[in-house]
Structure 1
Amino acid sequence: MCGIFGWALGAAKRQDRQTLIGLTDLMFHRGPDGSGYWLHETSDERFQIGFGHRRLSIIDIGGGGQPMSSEDGRFTLIFNGEIYNYLELRQELVALGHRFRTNSDTEVLIEAYRAWHLGAVGRFRGMFGFALWDEAEQRLVLARDAFGKKPLFLAELQGGLLFGSEIEPLVRFPGFSRAFDAEALGHYLLNRYVPGPLTFFRAVRKLQPGHYAVWQNGTLKTTRYFTPPVATTMPEVKSFGDAVRLFEGTFDEAVRIRMRSDAPFGAYLSGGVDSSAVVATMVKHSTEPVRTFSVGFRETEYSELDHARAVASQFGTFHNELFVEPDAFMEHWSTAVLRRGAPVSETSDVPIFMLSEMASRSVKMVLTGEGADELMGGYAKHRAERWIGLYQWLMPHLLHERVIYPLVRSLPYGMRRVKILALAAGERDLVNRMRVWFGGTSVAEAEAMLGRRLSATPPDIYPYSSGLESSLRRTLFFDQTSWLPDDLLERGDRMMMAGSIEGRMPFMDTMLAGVVARFPDEFLTGGKGGKTVLRAAMDKILPQSILRRKKVGFRVPVGEWFSGPYQDFVQDMLVSESSSVARMISGPKLRRLVAEHLSGRQNHEKVLWSVINLEMFLRAFKIAT
């Protein structure tokens, strides 16, 4: 696990080694164990190739340094991530006659590319963002893993290309334009995150998940190599028992290969079904107690620590806990925004950052439960999507708009989930319904806030383009191609690496995704709480109190903090003379939201969180709007 940065620059843009070092080292937190730098001229001397690398040593600690060049000097690689099936690939390559000097997955990646060229990317069972220079072909290959667990940002400049694991090194490049992307602002308000390939910088784009890009002679061409199996695989498994057995075997292997490490590791344990299933499976493959880490709050209604303790006790883990206090949360918040390179979408980002700092004192890698809901249908929206089509067929649109929704909208704030369900049930446009589920602002509300018309068309229509008949599978496809890479997985990478720790996610295994895609809809959402196959697989392993408890998500009491000890902070961020947001968003609208929240008349926690984070982002990156 590492941080990479580099460039392919024309003659007029060439830079020295110190610039490469300085920009790469902005990601020291991603790789405090070592560094490497490489400058190279193309054969025609028209372009300069620069590679910078920060290393967090987990596999082949002594021999896996980067940039790594092949023995014959043809290939040079910088790589962020892990190839979990590298031992199996290595055996296959040895049988083909390839030789290895190290025990690292980095060298396996190089030799896999030598053997299978761009087809190698589809063979990797892992998470990665890498850059490989092919001297013979005079081309630069950039690639990002199937689900987008690892980031890769690109900036095409006049006369060159920049790329990196984080945005900060790119925008700090000499002469780089930090022009703000107003289109991204509208999408941020609608989604609560910036959907790819956009970022808040006009010049910076995300390489989308499941894509590789080839740069050659100053031209960049991007290709999709992966489509989530939920969109391409027929639900052919007829027996629920067979489905459970298929899941158990593949999930067990997904966990086992993610325990490959030459450094100490553990697991993040929330006390929910997903992380508990990961820990239970790790225990099967560990000869010593698994180290587990949990985070919670003094406010007991927001804390799941009791549930995590129950799981830790059952499996005899070496358990560690972190209580998040408001002051510590505030101290870490601005750094979290800087590391993310964007406004922090979820309140849980900051506690995960704090937990990662704590965990990194004793381990270098953790397994987590991210992705289970998006793979196996764990959200209430997944169960609702199965009957929304019927509701819309039975319920005339005007009746819903004029009678049903106004009644629901008058319900108190505590019925917020019912309100979202009612709004989503009446929304016939798939794009807008996906936004509704995550509680973003409506198009009308966002336009009122900004005082201008918005383009509600997504920057990448792919997440909405599956054409699947099953509404559940359409939603899962969207989750796996937009919500996950641009929000939850982005959080997982940036917040864990901000604390210098690697996160591995067994539920985001491509082979597991292929197996689950073979299950019919009712095997996923047919039972209470969804993830029916997962719950059945864990029925004799996890406590019933864990399997049957209601899903609550990881919530942070920021609403109470905003209206309590941090009222002045909210005022400064949003309505003071120094606030940039106050000049971007309708002043009367913003003042009303703040006044209603601080007085307790309404709870505007989500929208206030979004706009405060926007303000913090603008300040962190010194962006003029």
Structure 2
Amino acid sequence: IIDIQHGSQPLYYGFKDKKYVIVFNGEIYNYLELKEKLIQEGFLFHTDSDTEVLLAAYCKWKQELLRYLNGMFAFAIYDPQQEILFLARDPLGQKPLYYAVQKDSILFASEPKAIISYPQWTPKISPFSLLKFFFFDFIPGQDSIFEGIFKLLPGHCMTIQLQNLSFAIKKYFEISFHPSTSITIQEAVPALRAKLQESVQRHLISHVPLGIFLSGGVDSTTILAIAQKISSSRLPTFSIGFEETGFDETPYIQEVVKYYHCQHSHFLFSPTQFKETFKEMLSFMDEPFGDPAFLPTFFLAKQSVPSIKVALGGEGSDELFAGYFPFLAMYPANLCQNFIPPPLLRGLQKLISLLPHKDAYFSLDFKIRRFLQGLTQKAPLRLPFWMTSAPPPRLASILKRDFWSLPLWKALEEEMERIFQNLNLNEIKGVEGCFHYFLKVYLPHDILYKFDRAAMYHSLEGRSPFLDKELIDFALQLPPTLKFRNFILKFILKEAVKPWLPQKIFTRPKQGFGVPLFKWMKGPLKKWMIHSLKAITHNQSQPFFDSKAVQKIVSETLEGKRDHSRILYNLILFSGFYSQWFQKEKLEDDCFL
């Protein structure tokens, strides 16, 4: 992306008779400033690559270099003088890094498949990770789906002593909320505008074609508005839509395209594209990931690569500036838990479960079900239960006993509680708990995983200007009352960007990026779903799932009695993943089509 002629890896660098080697995935956005500092210190450079600057920075500051970096990265540096390997991952987890430890080796890579291919490695499914995947739709924390393969967590670094292969992992960045109670909205608005403009300018640095993924929402439109001011040429924009009105944001996208006179490409994502993209995605995927929005993101990346090699997106804004519906639900949830007895809440939950399920995006019955689902849990579990499509009773019914046990569920509870271990009860039950969950769990393991993998599968680099280090530091200083006010989500961000955005975009209702799974599974994806689940529903000998229980939720979904579409999607996904990586079955031409 930067200095494509001379930035080949591994890259070697020598300084004062000392030599170092690096492999690096990502971008260092402040590399030009760092390069200037290092030149003043006597360092010489032979390329224009940010990789060389990163390695020279290690020569100068050793492991303290992490304090100076503004970027997204996963890298490994070989230091022959100290006989160590030094690995690090960026603060919020935009770039992946996995590792595994064996008796005589330590393996590391950007993907589990590289580790699995090691001759002495025998892959095994982790029962705990399987449980986490079906509960969260992704696998949070350091675990992967494979026993013995771990993620280096965001904001962590790892030092490996090559003499004896001992290693130490250290946290170098902590998401800590230190709001300034003295900052006023009159001070915060212009400061936020300046940080946004500086971030977008840094993210526009590229030696290859660059564009913007457009959703028609505040976040991506803000990036476009700033980029149009900065760039000497109009950047191409790309978007995706659905035929289903409740899920389609095309009218807002068209409003933005017209307002900014964009060079725009728009694509329709239909059930046919869903099936074709699912099969293509599965051939790449080496870890199950259950967010269905991965598929249209994957499809959009594929359509855009003939034109661009870098795409800017709005990821990170909702997590930093309070953009999700649970921020709205915290206060009424506390009132309900204070005044409504738990038995009555559970009774209401059973009563609501009898209502018919609607196809619409984020329908009223969906909101009520999820709201009550979380209210029946203690405070640390409330938010994860609001987000899950597979609460424990439903999950227990479809998993075989070998993969569902009380100790495993207790371990999952404990992991959820550890997310909030540095917060008191009032903070857990307030907006602080939401920020904590969305920034530490949902952002790295869902949003950023989706954006990076979907783009990188097509050799497209995805960048997130809202996750600029300086912008993050500033956002964490803002008090929650500026981010969420009078039940308005992202209040301070909207105030800051109001002069730049069309009125319709500024005032539009919040909408996430969803896929009409429930409607499609009852209609155009019905045959696909039934065919794709045969390995489970017609094979009681498979080790994970109760075939009859899965048949039951298939019937309930097809009849419209209950919406199990997310669970069924995850079952299909895991079944295909398992066949490919553990049974070594080549996907047939008609498989998943």
Q: TM-score, normalised by structure 2?
A: 0.91
2:588 is matched with which residue? none
1:237 CA displacement? 4.2
1:580 CA displacement? 8.3
Mapped to 1, the partners of 2:457 and 2:472 lie a distance apart of: 28
Counterparts in 2 of 1:405 and 1:273: CA distance versus 1, 3 Å: same
Instruction: Name the SS of the counterpart of 2:509 in structure 1.
Output: coil
Q: Answer yes or no: is the 8 Å Cα contact 1:68–1:77 preserved in 2.
A: yes
1:583 CA displacement? 4.3
1:147 CA displacement? 0.2
1:581 CA displacement? 9.6
- Say whether 1:63 aligns with 2:6: yes
- Say whether 1:417 aligns with 2:367: yes
1:485 is matched with which residue? 444
- Say whether 1:541 aligns with 2:500: yes
Matching residue's letter, 1:150: K
1:163 is matched with which residue? 108
Q: How many residues align?
A: 564
2:169 is matched with which residue? 222
1:81 CA displacement? 0.1
Q: Which blocks of at least 5 consecutive residues in structure 2 are unaligned?
A: 359-364, 585-593
1:298 CA displacement? 2.8
2:568 is matched with which residue? 608
Instruction: Name the SS of the counterpart of 2:498 in structure 1.
Output: coil
1:441 CA displacement? 1.6
2:396 is matched with which residue? 447
2:186 is matched with which residue? 241
- Which of residues 497, 503, 527 is equivalent to 1:568? 527
1:317-373 Cα deviation digits (max 9, x unpaired): 211111123223212213323434222321111111111111111111011001111
Q: CA RMSD in A?
A: 2.1
Matching residue's letter, 1:567: K
Counterparts in 2 of 1:623 and 1:140: CA distance versus 1, 3 Å: farther
Instruction: Name the SS of the counterpart of 1:141 in structure 2.
Output: strand
1:582 CA displacement? 5.9
Instruction: Name the SS of the counterpart of 1:150 in structure 2.
Output: coil
- Which of residues 303, 306, 320 is equivalent to 2:265? 320
1:151 CA displacement? 0.1
- Which of residues 289, 305, 313 is equivalent to 1:368? 313
Instruction: Name the SS of the counterpart of 1:440 in structure 2.
Output: coil
- Say whether 1:498 aligns with 2:448: no
- Say whether 1:356 aligns with 2:301: yes
Matching residue's letter, 2:521: F
Matching residue's letter, 2:155: G
- 5 Å matches for 1:121-520? 121-216=66-161, 217-230=164-177, 233-402=178-347, 404-414=348-358, 415-430=365-380, 432-450=381-399, 451=401, 452-454=404-406, 455-456=408-409, 457-458=411-412, 462-468=418-424, 469-470=426-427, 471-520=430-479
Q: Answer yes or no: is the 8 Å Cα contact 1:128–1:149 preserved in 2.
A: yes
- 5 Å matches for 1:28-39? none
Mapped to 1, the partners of 2:540 and 2:280 lie a distance apart of: 19
Mapped to 2, the partners of 1:123 and 1:349 lie a distance apart of: 33
Mapped to 1, the partners of 2:349 and 2:136 lie a distance apart of: 21
1:387 CA displacement? 4.6
Instruction: Name the SS of the counterpart of 1:584 in structure 2.
Output: coil
1:589 is matched with which residue? 549
1:175 CA displacement? 2.7
Matching residue's letter, 2:113: E
Matching residue's letter, 1:412: P
Mapped to 2, the partners of 1:562 and 1:445 lie a distance apart of: 19
1:557 CA displacement? 2.3
1:4-44 Cα deviation digits (max 9, x unpaired): xxxxxxxxxxxxxxxxxxxxxxxxxxxxxxxxxxxxxxxxx
Q: Which blocks of at least 5 consecutive residues in structure 1 are unaligned?
A: 1-57
1:373-416 Cα deviation digits (max 9, x unpaired): 111100110122245334323333333234x4334434432411
Matching residue's letter, 1:149: Q
Q: Answer yes or no: is the 8 Å Cα contact 2:133–2:290 preserved in 1.
A: no
Instruction: Name the SS of the counterpart of 1:193 in structure 2.
Output: coil
Q: Answer yes or no: is the 8 Å Cα contact 2:271–2:525 preserved in 1.
A: no
Q: Answer yes or no: is the 8 Å Cα contact 2:24–2:76 preserved in 1.
A: yes
| Residue identity (%) | 29
Counterparts in 2 of 1:397 and 1:383: CA distance versus 1, 3 Å: same
Matching residue's letter, 1:467: L
2:587 is matched with which residue? none
Mapped to 2, the partners of 1:145 and 1:510 lie a distance apart of: 10
1:300 CA displacement? 3.3
Counterparts in 2 of 1:94 and 1:386: CA distance versus 1, 3 Å: farther
Matching residue's letter, 2:227: M
Counterparts in 2 of 1:180 and 1:449: CA distance versus 1, 3 Å: same
Mapped to 1, the partners of 2:495 and 2:166 lie a distance apart of: 51
1:224 CA displacement? 0.6
